[in-house]
Chain A
């Protein structure tokens, strides 16, 4: 048997950009705070600095991070909000479509899926509006 090779259809810089975005959404890096540098990411994840740089630049392009010359990369004031909007737009393709496809393979109807979602313990937690977050509020932003 061939050992399982890492098989992601997405380039690593996208995976890394997502990981940093996850940390911004979770509040680990609130608006105005500094994210790790290219070198730190490169050493920590043992990836080529060019790849780490591409990940950071992608977030800069989306106005989630901003470069401060000589200092590094910082989360923009509305960085988390940009990410939330972006991720909500992707929810359908990334999660709902695969869920429905798997349900169809298992012979479940859409109504079955809805019932399943409502019965899940996590469903109650998600009833509060999405824009309130657990991220610590950053006064300086």
Chain B
């Protein structure tokens, strides 16, 4: 299939084959990728490069396009425009590339009467690097019954089964869409452990969407934060957390101090005001804050994403043409 780049902001020469050196064509590259469902444009021009062998966290409020993005990369959903390459090749209709990608959808449908065993027997045909032993081990760690029809599995068991498939696929490009849904804390820990074991022993690219940000922050090397169909931010976890500063203290002192700053969010508890501002504080500013008895801290990743999500929700509410906001903020 041919796809033309219609987004004028992408500067790639029209129709040119893979532009770049082997170094930049390795991994997943998106240029000006858009996706519309009817009149709703879910992806509004995505430029993104995912390097081989890294774990990426895909973050953002509900409805910003995270699942659509993963789906479009794996060609489970056709993009409307833009360019996607995996290791320099167009993934659409490209079995050689697609057998190295794995994306089990969060609401994956199976044939109602299939048992776990049936799926396990079919999967080696789809994944070049399928690991039967790993699949066995994961199924038993998650206590997934083998002879149970898939439709009888609980939400948590279905998630655990999806995790088993994703990890045992050994796909170089593995997509995990809120893989923890319904998993209890013990199972989540097993999942995080096994995920880390896999990427440590055999580096592969993982793109994982999650709302349990604090829990998953240490698993990620880089975060990709989406807002309203675009990539808002793509950086190292540490870079993101140092991109903002949390300031807390008595309300007038905080308000006075933060007046010249770009305030992202603010919360009050009695007379105590907690504010998140953009940027890091210069040493003299830090000293000035301390003189005012303000506490200055580096915010957590979740705090930053939640603050930006609140902006997202506020904007969505003001602009009714945007798709509905389906869930209250992750903070309160």
Contact = CB atoms under 8 A, between A and B. Distances in A.
Contacts of A11: 238
Contacts of A9: 297-298
Interface string B269-312: 10000000000000000000000000001111111001000000
A63 interface: no
A124 B219 CA distance: 44
Given A1-B269, A38-B200, A47 B219 contact: yes
A8 B189 CA distance: 22
Contacts of A7: 246, 297-300
Interface residues of A, number: 21
A46 B300 contact: no
A48 B300 contact: no
A12 B199 contact: no
Contacts of A33: none
Interface stretch (B66-74, B84-92, B120-128, B190-198): B190-198
Nearest to A13: B238
Nearest to B218: A47
A34 interface: no
A5 interface: yes
A8 B241 CA distance: 10
Contact of A42 (B197, B269, B298): B197
B55 A48 contact: yes
Given A2-B267, A48-B199, A43 B193 contact: yes
A113 B197 CA distance: 48
Residues of B in contact with A, size category: 20 to 34
A99 interface: no
A57 interface: no
A55 to B, nearest CB: 12
Nearest to B203: A49
Given A46-B219, A50-B221, A39 B303 contact: no
B321 interface: no
B303 A46 contact: no
A45 interface: yes
The 10 A-B pairs of least Cβ separation, nearest first, read: A5-B300, A49-B200, A39-B200, A46-B192, A47-B218, A42-B196, A42-B200, A43-B197, A9-B298, A5-B303
28 contacts: A1-B269, A2-B306, A2-B331, A2-B332, A5-B300, A7-B299, A7-B300, A8-B298, A9-B297, A11-B238, A12-B218, A38-B200, A42-B196, A42-B199, A43-B196, A43-B197, A43-B200, A46-B189, A46-B192, A46-B193, A47-B219, A48-B55, A48-B219, A48-B220, A49-B196, A49-B200, A50-B221, A51-B221
Given A1-B332, A2-B332, A7-B246, 5 more contacts: A39-B197, A42-B197, A43-B197, A45-B218, A46-B192
